[in-house]
Amino acid sequence: QVQLVESGGGLVQPGGSLRLSCAAEGFSFSSYRMIWVRQPPGKGLEYVSDLNESGGGQYYANAVKGRFTISRDNAKNTLYLQMTDLKPEDTAVYYCAKNLRSSSGRFDGMDYWGKGTLVTVSS
């Protein structure tokens, strides 16, 4: 059974940093592109970032480019999102998600995601 569990969210002041983690189990983690998405309060789901099976091929939404860094540790079945220079508009529930297809080389869509972790950026 696929399980994705996010952690690391919290309250942070503007300009601060947080590191989100996503522990994965129930599938061959190293065979799948992984994705971070977020949902701001009262809004729809937004793409944040994704990376390929080996940790390369990273893509970022324009809103977070240069401030967020996605990475993974396949030995630990864990996905990360390092967030720096946080802004109030980064306030959202952050979800990690599994790519639809294995070894696909691109973002095909998401078939599983976790329950999310809340990031609040406020002074």
Q: Could you list the mean pLDDT of each consecutive 10-residue stretch along the chain, which spans 123 residues?
A: 97 98 97 97 97 94 98 98 98 97 88 96 96
Residue 104 is given by DSSP the state: -
* Predicted local distance difference test score (pLDDT) of residue 72: 98
Contact by Cβ (8 Å): 79, 85: no
Q: Terminus-to-terminus CA distance in the chain, angstroms? A: 40
Which phi and psi (to 5°) does residue 5 adopt?
-125, 115
Contact by Cβ (8 Å): 24, 32: no
Half-sphere exposure of 77 (CA within 13 A, CB side): 12
Pairing of strands 117-121, 10-12: parallel
Contact by Cβ (8 Å): 110, 1: no
* Predicted local distance difference test score (pLDDT) of residue 104: 82
Q: Count the Cβ atoms, other than its own, within 10 Å of residue 76.
A: 12
The number of angstroms, rounded, from the C-alpha of 77 to the middle of its chain's C-alpha atoms is 14
